[in-house]
Each structure stands twice: as structure tokens, then as C-alpha cells.
Structure 1
Amino acid sequence: MVALNIVEATNRAMAKDKSAGRPYVAVVGGGTSGIGSYAALELAKVHGEVGQAASRGLRVYILGRRASDTLLGELRAACPFGTFEFVQAKDLGLLKDVDRVSSLLIEKETAYSTQEGHAAKVDLLVASQGILSFGGRQDTEEGLEWSMAIGYYGRVRLVDRLLPLLTQTVSPPAVGHVAFVMNPQLEGDIVVDDLSLRNPKAFSLRNRGSHLAIFSTFYMEALAARNPGTLSLVHYYPGGVKSGIAETSNLGFFIRTMFRIALPLMRIVNVPEAESGQRIAFLGTTSVYPPSGDKAARKLPTGTSVSVGADGKVGSGAYRINYNDDSLKNNDKASKYRADGVGEKIYEHTQRAFQTVAAGKKFEE
């Protein structure tokens, strides 16, 4: 466990790192409420508390379906000198909408960076958009299962589309970080010969959860290997955190009511909102979560060490991290799939889905 005071001190130090010569830029998918909004708000508070004279500057893009004037007001109040922009999405479960939003975001950040006189760069991408679904299979118009489309395909498409800004070369050098908020602990058996779970017998709540988790880990490993020295990715379990996901998901009356009844009891063991936001911001600490092949000499915050990667190797560039910023124990089933080359199959499957949809066709694999 990384102590919260170390997390907070590290985030303050990052906020004051003026050697970068440019503002810290974060993108938060699903940032209008819940975990994403906590991350955005804590980034704003950290920079606001160190003050305009000490802060390197901050720019945060919030991606979501509906703008939250309350959240934007809180962000601007916490950091009056920061820039906070809402980028409206219609449906982040549709790849064509992810592409549209990504293009708009790249255009906005390029304009800002040109005006400021530096290359366009994203320092931290938080992918937290998602829904709860306990029913049967529902496909989007693009041929992807609805919950997987939002929780996996749409998220990794966002990462892919923003890779030019995440891996942008700047001076001094800076690594792009991705915080993929899901749950690596759901990794279990997957249906290797039916990755899309199209067979009704294969489609179950357990299989869908395992596919979401293992797909996320393996895709991040593939990206880390393909972008050595420039990209660090974390599959992050946030723990129990107050979230409005039950209200924004298409749940039946009974399940929605159960969530409302359970919520007061869950708060007893929940991770506090402010701590959750601070810990997600900490995932952008390059010395603790370095990219693969990192050869730079980096000073670690007191009380920390270089994290063990998802593949069991220290500093591998792709990490499975618990809510308290500890590395999660390597998963035996995932290790076997990795050894059998399933990770590459998942990456290729995902790329085929992207290419098929981009060509205007329905993905039917």
C-alpha cells in the first residue's frame, strides 16, 4: 500500500513541476460523474492549492453525454487559473462517436498548444466510462455487445485514437499515462474460440466480466510493448467508491431499488471520493509506473518502488493495480493465456473490430 500522504505529496510535486514548460493535460472519459469526476476534481484541487505562481498549469477535458454545470463550477472554483472543457459525446459505446470526440479533442488541444508554443501532449487519460448490465445480450448498431462496447471497445478505441498525443515527443521528455478503471480481479476463464461471446450458451454475466477484465489487461500489454519508453498503462481497481453508475445504467426497477437500499451500507467500506481521485491522479507517476524499456534515471517518491507489471516483471509498462496503489498478484489463468499467445489474438480481434466499423460495416466476428 502507498500511504495516502505520500500520494498527496507526489501529486503536489507533479503539479509544481514547471520544468515541463507546459500545462499538465488530462482527459477523463466518463468524467461527468462518479470516479472520473473525482479524479478531475482532485487534479483541480491540487493545482489550486499549490497556487497559480507555483503550479505548472492545468487543462482537463471531460468527456460525457451531458455536461455537469455543477462539476464544471467546482473545477473552476478549485483552480481558477486552470482550463476545464466539456467535450460532448452522444454514445461512447459507438466507435464512430469515440472517433468524432477524439478528433474534436485533438483539434482543441492542438490549438491550445500551438498558442502556448509547444507540442500537443496528453499526460493522463482516465478511462472510466461504463454501465451496469445484468440482462441478456444487446448489440449496438456496429455489431458489438452493448456493455462490452462501452466498457472495453470504446475505451481502448479512445486510447488508440489519442496515442499521438499520449506518445508525443516533448522536451523535456514526458511519458503518457493511461488509467483504465475496471477490475483486474475479474480475470478468469474466457472463450478463446468465441471472443465476442456470440454463442448464447457462452454469453453469461461471469464470462462477460472475465472477458472485460482480461481483454483490458492484454490490450494494455500490447500497447505498452508497441510504445516502449513513451506509454504507461494501468488496469486499476478503484475499490468501493460512491458512483452514479446504477442511475445511468439501463437497470430494472428491482435492481435499481436494491442499489439504493445497499448504498448507505456500502459507504461504511467505501474509498472516500477525495482519496479515490488522488489515487487515480497518482497513477500518472512515471517513476512508479514507468513505460516498458524505460532507461531514464528517475527519483522515486519516499516509501514507493517501481511497480510489478501485469506479466510479473518489474516496470513492464502495463500494470494491474489495486485501489491502494499496490500491484495485484499475478493471475495464473491470465499467465497461461499470455503464454499461449491469447493476448495477441485479443489485440488482433480488437483491431479487426475497429477496422470493420471504420469501413462502415457491422462487426460480425
Structure 2
Amino acid sequence: MPSLAAVTASNASWKPAYIPVCVFVGGTSGIGEGIVQAVGRHTAGKAHIFLVGRNASAAQRILDALPASEGAVREFVECDLSLVASAKKVAADILARQGRVNLLVLTAGAISLESTITSEGLEKSMAVWYYSRWAFVDGLLPGLKAAQARGEDARVLSMLNAGKGKAFDVSDLGLKNPLAAVKGLGDLRETGAAVATYQDLLVQVRVLPPSSTGTYMPQGYAARHPTLTFIHSAPGPVNTPLYSVSTSAEVRAAGDAIHKATAAEAKTIQECGEHQLYAILNAPAGVSRTGPNGDDIGLESIEAKEGDVETLWVHTEGVIHGL
């Protein structure tokens, strides 16, 4: 497990000869903010940074604190991530203006005990945690490929809970039933484990060794674009406002308890940002899963059946392209 000093030194060695285009979906607070700060530090501000979310004032505070660099783009892009159409539009706008994307970092999420169906017919939490993330990868894929064609970094990180997934029900891929039945954080944690598997499959990790060699094979994005880098990360305990901003008193109270229980090991968002940037910059082409310190945790224990992987892909592609 690399130390904070080791990952910081490694990140400091990142000296791209170009100005990287970095898109942060959910970068206006928490871990996303920490990664933005790390990118700003290690590029001395020489990066085009797009913060996608809904909190304009928070985004401006973060952008204003980055090192100044002539010609660097600093932009907040408003987006309602509970609506896939909004995510698709923002991705298309960024692609049209920049033409290339070097880093796509997906950290958006919220915790709620209330289940709401959006105007698009999706469960709101799933729209934020999964469908909109998928839409950004899908929409910015041409930009990632364009960056790679120029000999530049082309990397995607989706952060949730790598290695903590569970099997899912193919008859309810939108998870409407379990989310509607949530009565407390225990239920939400169980459903969240299924979403963690979805994130494994978003970056497209294969479930079981399908060949006589016993090697793990990527599906979906990593299989279709094996020279790009796709990562699902687990940040571990981090001192973020994820729980404290919830409208649920139960969630806020649980967050207080969790923060107290993990105080000795929890990272600050700045520390976590360094470890997550290390994961982004050091993962090889193809698919990886990384842990709290940014190190590889392997592809074992992916909780899905072989046929279910393609079923989820077809379902998600249909949802995204149908909106």
C-alpha cells in the first residue's frame, strides 16, 4: 500500500507536455474536490478543468483556489445529474468545444432514504450513481480516443466501492423495487452493493475466468476500447459532507457515528485526492480496480453471472440512447 508521501511524489512526476482536459462530474465537494485540488497542484494550474454539478458557488470557490495559469480554462458546468438527458447534453457540449478529454473523473452521488422516480422514468439515486456516469463515458468517449490518438493520457475513473459488490436481479436492472423498499441505511447499503457491481461493469470487469488460461477478460467499454484506461475505485473512509448534507436525520446521525468510528483511519479530502490521482495516473490500459491508497486490488470477486454482464450493458445502452 503506497504511503501518502509516495503517491504525492509520484503525482508530482506527472509533467504532461500538453495542457490536459479534465472533466470532473461531482467535483464541487468531497473527494471530487480533493482530486481537482491535486490536479491543480501537480500541473501548476496548467490544466483545462470542467466542474460538472449544481453548486455554482462551491465550484467557483474551488476554481478560484487553483494556481493561476495563462490560457487555462476554468469552468463550472451546471448539470442535473438525476436527468440523463442533462448529462448527455453537457457531455456533448464539452466534447464540441474541446475535442479531446484526458481525464474523466466520476464521483457524483448522494445518500437518500427516499425513492423518487424522475421524469425520465428512472429511480433518482440510480440516475445519479449510475446512468448519468455511463452517459458521460459514452458521450466523451470520442474525446478520450482523440486524446489518445495524440499520444496523450486518456483515463476514466468511476469512484464508488470497488470490491464490495453483490449479485443483482436482472428482472429489475433499474433497482426500483429494492430502492422503493428501503427503510433504513442497512437496506440502502445492501442495494448500494449491487450498484458497486454496476460500477465494476461500467468500467467493465469480467466476472469469472472464461478461458482455460484463467485470465480475467474485460467486457463492454474496456473490451471495445482496450487501449484506454478504465478504473473503478474504492476510496475507503474519508471526511466528506456526504452524510451531513442529507435531508434525512437518520442519515446524518449515521454519518456522525461512522465518522467517529473511522476517525483514526479516515483520510482528508486532500489526502484522498492524492491517492485517487495516483490511481488514475498509474493504472494500465484496460480495466483496473483500486483501493483506498490508489493501489490495484485485482479483478477477483466480481458478483455477476456471465450472461448478466451483457444483459446489463444492453439495458443501459438502451436507456442512455433512448433519452
Instruction: Give the Cα–Cα distance (whole angstroms) in 2 for the partners of residues 121 and 225 of structure 1.
Output: 21
Instruction: Give the Cα–Cα distance (whole angstroms) in 2 for the partners of residues 43 and 278 of structure 1.
Output: 9
The aligned runs of 1:268-279 (5 Å cut-off) are 268-279=264-275
Residue 192 (structure 1) aligns with: 170
The Cα of 1:171 is off from its aligned counterpart by 5.7
Residue 49 (structure 2) aligns with: 60
Taking structure 1 as the reference length, the TM-score comes to 0.75
- Count residues in correspondence: 300
Instruction: Give the Cα–Cα distance (whole angstroms) in 2 for the partners of residues 258 and 206 of structure 1.
Output: 12
The Cα of 1:10 is off from its aligned counterpart by 2.5
Equivalent position SS for 2:158 = strand
State whether structure 2 residue 87 is matched by structure 1 residue 98. Answer: yes
Which one of 205, 217, 221 corresponds to residue 200 of structure 2?
217
CA distances 1:48-79 after superposition (whole Å, capped 9, x unpaired): 2xxx8xxxx3111111101123212211xx34
Judge conservation of contact 2:84–2:132 (CA < 8 Å) in 1.
yes
Judge conservation of contact 1:47–1:79 (CA < 8 Å) in 2.
no
CA distances 1:269-292 after superposition (whole Å, capped 9, x unpaired): 21132221112222332xx4222x
The Cα of 1:158 is off from its aligned counterpart by 1.0
Q: 1:171 to 1:152 in 2, by over 3 A?
A: closer
- Point out the structure with max Rg over C-alpha: 1
Instruction: Give aligned-pair identity as a percent.
Output: 28
Judge conservation of contact 2:200–2:302 (CA < 8 Å) in 1.
no
The Cα of 1:241 is off from its aligned counterpart by 1.2
Which one of 129, 147, 150 corresponds to residue 125 of structure 2?
147
User: What's the Cα RMSD here?
Assistant: 2.4
The Cα of 1:155 is off from its aligned counterpart by 0.9
Instruction: Give the Cα–Cα distance (whole angstroms) in 2 for the partners of residues 107 and 333 of structure 1.
Output: 36
State whether structure 2 residue 284 is matched by structure 1 residue 290. Answer: yes
Instruction: Give the Cα–Cα distance (whole angstroms) in 1 for the partners of residues 101 and 36 of structure 2.
Output: 14
Residue type of the alignment partner of 1:60: I
Instruction: Give the Cα–Cα distance (whole angstroms) in 2 for the partners of residues 11 and 79 of structure 1.
Output: 19
Residue type of the alignment partner of 2:222: A
Taking structure 2 as the reference length, the TM-score comes to 0.84
Judge conservation of contact 1:121–1:168 (CA < 8 Å) in 2.
yes
Judge conservation of contact 2:102–2:147 (CA < 8 Å) in 1.
no
The Cα of 1:168 is off from its aligned counterpart by 1.1
Residue 303 (structure 1) aligns with: none
Instruction: Give the Cα–Cα distance (whole angstroms) in 1 for the partners of residues 156 and 170 of structure 2.
Output: 26
Instruction: Give the Cα–Cα distance (whole angstroms) in 2 for the partners of residues 258 and 2 of structure 1.
Output: 30
Which one of 128, 131, 148 corresponds to residue 107 of structure 2?
128
Judge conservation of contact 2:25–2:108 (CA < 8 Å) in 1.
yes
Residue type of the alignment partner of 1:205: L
Residue 2 (structure 1) aligns with: 2
State whether structure 2 residue 320 is matched by structure 1 residue 322. Answer: no
With 200-209 and 268-277 compared, the bigger mean Cα shift is at 200-209
Which one of 152, 161, 178 corresponds to residue 183 of structure 1?
161
Instruction: Give the Cα–Cα distance (whole angstroms) in 2 for the partners of residues 106 and 252 of structure 1.
Output: 37
State whether structure 2 residue 320 is matched by structure 1 residue 354. Answer: yes
The Cα of 1:199 is off from its aligned counterpart by 4.1
Q: 1:17 to 1:233 in 2, by over 3 A?
A: same
The Cα of 1:331 is off from its aligned counterpart by 4.1
CA distances 1:105-145 after superposition (whole Å, capped 9, x unpaired): 22332xxxxxxxxxx3211111000011234x321111111
Equivalent position SS for 1:268 = coil
Instruction: Give the Cα–Cα distance (whole angstroms) in 2 for the partners of residues 200 and 27 of structure 1.
Output: 32
State whether structure 2 residue 23 is matched by structure 1 residue 31. Answer: no
Q: 1:47 to 1:202 in 2, by over 3 A?
A: closer
Instruction: Give the Cα–Cα distance (whole angstroms) in 1 for the partners of residues 249 and 83 of structure 2.
Output: 26
Judge conservation of contact 1:189–1:207 (CA < 8 Å) in 2.
no
Instruction: Give the Cα–Cα distance (whole angstroms) in 1 for the partners of residues 248 and 43 of structure 2.
Output: 41
Judge conservation of contact 1:39–1:281 (CA < 8 Å) in 2.
yes
CA distances 1:266-319 after superposition (whole Å, capped 9, x unpaired): 44321132221112222332xx4222xxxxxxxxxxxxxxxxxxxxxxxxx111
The Cα of 1:100 is off from its aligned counterpart by 1.8
Instruction: Give the Cα–Cα distance (whole angstroms) in 2 for the partners of residues 126 and 201 of structure 1.
Output: 26
The Cα of 1:194 is off from its aligned counterpart by 2.3
Residue 224 (structure 2) aligns with: 226
The Cα of 1:333 is off from its aligned counterpart by 5.4
Instruction: Give the Cα–Cα distance (whole angstroms) in 2 for the partners of residues 345 and 259 of structure 1.
Output: 35
With 31-40 and 238-247 compared, the bigger mean Cα shift is at 238-247
Q: 1:200 to 1:284 in 2, by over 3 A?
A: closer
